[in-house]
Structure 1
Amino acid sequence: MGFSAASGNDIFENLPRTYLLFVESMKPYLAAAIQLTSVPDLYKNLAQAEELIELAVRRGAELVSLPENFSFMGEEKDKLAQAEAIARESEIFLKKMAQRFQVTILGGSFPVPVENTGKFYNTTILVDSNGQELSRYYKVHLFDVNVPDGNTYQESSTVMAGTQLPPVYFSENLGNLGLSICYDVRFPELYRHLADKGADVIFVPAAFTAFTGKDHWQTLLQARAIENTCYVIAPAQTGTHYARRQTHGHAMIIDPWGTILADAGEKPGIAIAEIRPTRLEQVRRQMPSLQHRVFN
């Protein structure tokens, strides 16, 4: 079911050339969304992540993603105090794992200190199988919310908001990969930007609260996939991490029609599913909504 730019399918004429190349030349591959219960212990978290990365690779994954705060999940003040070490060790770990297992890895998120501010960026990076950083994004939407379960979150007290729209990286083997982090999922304009840049696969690494997750997590992810006709890969945190901090779990991979291809449930583990270029083409033929937009 290949597509040629010269085949006269007008609905694709405005799509980026990188998308057309992806559909024409790419083969299906397996992607994995890892689910962790990270705690306030850097090296314990890295050991847990390594086990699940290895498991994902053994199951055939070529693209592996980790959740938000994969290397440290603790009180913000403790994260801030250890941010320099967490940032350094997280980057070393991601590059080492990518090289060791010869896969591309999305590094969920970890803190990167911002000089002379007393704060850090909530950061995700994409690393290739050579251990080279391909793309980086600093979370722009910060979670300052009084959740009805009695928990209050003030991410901006220690995190500096990013100021740049997230990038889309084109991989010859994996397609156009768009980045985002957790709370971003509530802001559809960010994902429309990624779609406009030609994203085929969008990452949403998260540490979604248990209270909001039960009502909103799946719905929001499906909406982002459907409205942008993209695959969504959403690695997640799950369980109890410290004090009263509980997360929802249900790491997922969702196809461009909104179908849930894999769900990791509520325990640490992996959601793994096939990313198929022909499925993207099929959905975008059947529902060419991005080509019907009136207001930009």
Structure 2
Amino acid sequence: MREHAAQRQTHPLPTRPIRIAAAQAQAAAGDIEANAAAAAAMVREAGRAGARLVVFPEKFLSGYEPDLIRADPRRYAVGAGDPRLDPIAEACRETGTVAVVGAAVHDQGDLYISALAIGTSGELVARYDKQNLFKSEHEIYREGTAGCTLQLDGWRLGLGICYDSGFPEHARAAALDGCHAYVVGALFGVGNGHHELRTWFPARALDNTCYVVLANHIGTTGGWDACGSSTIWGPDGRPLAEAGADHPELITADLDPEALLTVRDSEPMLRDLRDTATEARAWHRLG
């Protein structure tokens, strides 16, 4: 569970930059073994590029594929200690890179849309379950109950999944927990989805003066035509690296504590944030 907002100033800035990668690729529908192999290859590519962390799209291990997952969750979702994750774990051990992989997860009879953080020793170091489910996802999955902050090399990285990013409160909760970056795997489609990602993510960055990382699908998955365009934004809301719309690609950017400090000095919204509960009550009285 994240800490109270009053504690947000207790976490110092990192002491050195970190390189983060966003991976976009075509997921093979329901083929967890093939998708894990593809993810492992991109972990190694990220490691060669000097990245300490690479994030993958939402439910990349199976593809989005709600009908497959609902029909046979044992086959199309993963569980604790699932050997199909071994190729990714091995790639993380070889490269010293952390992978945040999107997956459907079955846990004690329930299904979740999750981000699995696999550490540099190949172990599962964190699991975040999507808190804001989209439309028909409510029929299949349970909502997550808590946010998740991943710590790496002095950086605090708040995890999100797709529709989470449409709610300013989600990224704000990460920022109030001292996060320096908001890291999201997603499925955004052509058309309105592309408009949403180009609107939501720069706003999440600037509102919270934090880096934002998005990994999106390409191709068709679960009936959606994905728009690619994975991007890493700086804490001022400006893009630092952008992928294309329709081909596999790994993008990287260096997150720099000096740049973070500079933006936070010039854009003090997070520092000046008022108690929103008190403000809401005052608004109600005025109304």
Q: Same fold (TM over 0.5)?
A: yes
Preserved contact between residue 90 and residue 110 of structure 1 (Cα < 8 Å): no
Question: Residue 130 in 1 paired to residue 121 in 2?
Answer: yes
Q: Does residue 1:160 correspond to 2:142, yes or no?
A: yes
User: Matched residues in 2 for 1:15 and 1:282: separation?
Assistant: 18
Normalising by structure 2, what TM-score? Answer: 0.85
CA contact (8 A) 2:24 2:215 kept: yes
User: Which residue, 80, 91, 102 being the options, matches 2:96?
Assistant: 102
Aligned positions of 1:238-277 closer than 5 A:
238-241=218-221, 244-266=223-245, 267-277=247-257
> 1:262 is paired with a residue of what secondary structure?
strand
Q: Unaligned 5+ residue runs, structure 2?
A: 1-5, 277-287
Is 1:113 equivalent to 2:103 in the alignment? no
Alpha-carbon distance change, 77 to 114 in structure 1, aligned in 2, over 3 angstroms: farther
Shift in Å, 1:139? 0.5
Paired residues of 1:83 and 1:113 also in contact (CA < 8 A)? yes
Letter in 2 for 1:110: A
- What is the rounded CA distance, in whole Å, between the counterparts of 1:14 and 1:161 in structure 2? 26
Offset of residue 274 of structure 1? 0.8
2:12 to 19, 28, 45: 19
C-alpha distance in structure 2 between counterparts of 1:234 and 1:224, whole Å: 11
When residues 226 and 181 of structure 1 are mapped into structure 2, their CA distance, relative to the original with a 3 A threshold, is: same
> What do residues 92-150 of structure 1 show as CA deviations (whole Å, max 9, x unaligned)?
3442221122111212x21111434xx41111122221123332211111110xxxxxx
- Partner of 1:235, secondary structure, is strand
State the AA in 1 paired with 2:12: Y
AA partner of residue 177 (structure 1): L
Give 2:3's aligned residue: none
Whole-angstrom CA distance in 2 between matches of 1:92 and 1:51: 13
Contact 1:84 1:112 in 2 (8 A): no
Aligned residues: 265
Structure 2 counterparts to residues 169-208 of structure 1, below 5 A: 169-171=150-152, 173-208=153-188
The whole-number CA distance in structure 1 between the counterparts of 2:150 and 2:36 is 26
Q: Which of 21, 24, 27 is the matching residue for 1:38? A: 27
Structure 1 alignment gaps of length 5 or more: 1-12, 145-153
Alignment match, 1:29 = 18
Letter of the 1:84 counterpart: R
CA RMSD of aligned residues (A): 2.0
Q: Is the 8 A contact 1:98 1:129 kept in 2?
A: yes
